[in-house]
Amino acid sequence: MARIADTFARLRSKGRKAFVSYIMAGDPDRERSLEVLRGLPGAGVDIIELGLPFTDPMADGPTIQAAGQRALGGGMTLEATLGMVRAFREENDETPIVLMGYYNPIYSRGVERFLAEAKEAGVDGLIVVDLPPEEDDELCIPALKAGIDFIRLATPTTDDARLPRVLENTSGFVYYVSITGITGSAVPKPSDVAPEVARIKAATDLPVIVGFGIRDPESARGISEIADGAVVGSAIVSKLAEGGPIEELLAYVRSLADGVHSG
């Protein structure tokens, strides 16, 4: 039942990099959001990050902010997000799902209750942007005890002195934030990112996935050449916001996946 570890083992045996894609739960509405979620594995997505909508997404750019507002506007909740995961798991027991968001909705529900519900629904990992290692007692340690990976962000400001602290309780994989900034902003240069990924890999056996600012098959390939995989979020979310048919969106996702898998 370790979907994240199994996925990386399988990819490694095929010599492939991981394609991680992000969508916001409930965006643009619950029905279409679930349809897209169900379509992602078939479009080549190896790991799914499912955004938990929050009113105050301090680390996100305008694209993800707008997606969260659309979701909340449609009445999306934490409970309904877990419901989406359950519905997805009815037909897919393989593709890992990582919930990504902010702490308050989880804190509001109660950490123990949330972890039990998330585990039961089929959630494999958590990325909670506003919980640095200094606050590990809040959710990270309880999540690890509950058998849910806690995936930490490492950033360009995480220096060598701090890196061990960041890696200490990280599990599943390390998410390297390629830029100092918010989601969906500057495009990272693989030549800048490569030494950072190497630095992190020297300190951990976990896979290192790179995200923030990757928006087309070419940049996805460039990044996956120097890391264990790439995350695309805002580019997919903004395509979804354009409102075209879902097949078209999934074809776009497929092109990104091909970029990563050729890297």
Partner 1 sequence: MPDDLINSFLNAPDEKGRFGDFGGRFVSETLMPLILSLEAEYDRAKTDESFWAEMDHLWKHYVGRPSPLYRADRLTEHLGGARIYLKRDELNHTGAHKINNVLGQILLARRMGKERIIAETGAGQHGVATATVCAKFGLKCVVYMGAHDVERQKPNVFRMRLLGAEVVPVTSGRGTLKDAMNDALRDWVTNVRDTFYCIGTVAGPHPYPAMVRDFQSVIGKEVRWQLAEQEGEGRLPDTVIAAIGGGSNAMGLFHPFLDDRSVRIIGVEAGGKGVDDKMEHCASLTGGRPGVLHGNRTYLLQDDDGQILEGFSISAGLDYPGIGPEHAWLHDTKRAEYVSITDREALDAFKLSCALEGIIPALEPSHALAHVMKIAPDLPSDHIIVMNMCGRGDKDIFAVAEHLGVDL
Sequence letter at residue 220 = A
Residue from 21, 33, 158, 171 touching partner 1 (CB under 8 A): that is: 158
Whole-number CA gyration radius for the chain:
17
The distance of closest approach from Cβ of residue 166 to partner 1 in the complex, given in angstroms and rounded to an integer, is 7
The distance of closest approach from Cβ of residue 98 to partner 1 in the complex, given in angstroms and rounded to an integer, is 16
- Give the whole-angstrom CA distance, residue 228 versus residue 223: 9
Decide if residue 106 touches partner 1 (CB under 8 A).
yes
Q: Nearer to partner 1 by C-beta: 36 or 106?
A: 106
DSSP, res 52: P
- Give the whole-angstrom CA distance, residue 140 versus residue 209: 19
Q: Can you read off the two tokens belonging to residue 54?
A: 């929050």
Catalytic residues: 49, 60
The distance of closest approach from Cβ of residue 130 to partner 1 in the complex, given in angstroms and rounded to an integer, is 5
Complete DSSP assignment for 77-110: -HHHHHHHHHHHHTT-SSS-EEEEE-HHHHHHH-
Q: Which of 55, 59, 74 is nearest to 22 (CA)?
A: 59
- Give the whole-angstrom CA distance, residue 95 versus residue 78: 20
Q: Nearer to partner 1 by C-beta: 13 or 108?
A: 108
Q: Nearer to partner 1 by C-beta: 39 or 181?
A: 181
Residue from 8, 19, 88, 103 touching partner 1 (CB under 8 A): that is: 103
Decide if residue 54 touches partner 1 (CB under 8 A).
yes
Q: Nearer to partner 1 by C-beta: 64 or 257?
A: 64
Decide if residue 132 touches partner 1 (CB under 8 A).
yes
Q: Which of 127, 71, 129 is nearest to 96 (CA)?
A: 127
Q: Nearer to partner 1 by C-beta: 64 or 256?
A: 64
* b/e burial code for range 92-120 (CB count within 10 A of at least 16 → b): beebbbbbbbbbebbeebeeeebbebbee
Rounded to the nearest 5°, which phi and psi values hold at 127? Answer: -125, 110
# of chain residues touching partner 1 (CB under 8 A): 45
- Give the whole-angstrom CA distance, residue 254 versus residue 237: 14
Residue from 35, 120, 180, 195 touching partner 1 (CB under 8 A): that is: 180
Q: Which stretch binds partner 1 (CB under 8 A): 16-24, 148-156, 187-195, 199-207?
A: 148-156
Chain positions 60 to 79 lying near partner 1, rule: CB under 8 A, are 60-62, 65, 72, 77-79
Rounded to the nearest 5°, which phi and psi values hold at 176? Answer: -90, 120
Residue from 11, 45, 177, 209 touching partner 1 (CB under 8 A): that is: 177
Decide if residue 141 touches partner 1 (CB under 8 A).
no
Which residues lie near partner 1 (CB under 8 A)? Answer: 53-62, 65, 72, 77-79, 102-109, 129-135, 152-159, 162, 166, 177, 180-182, 185
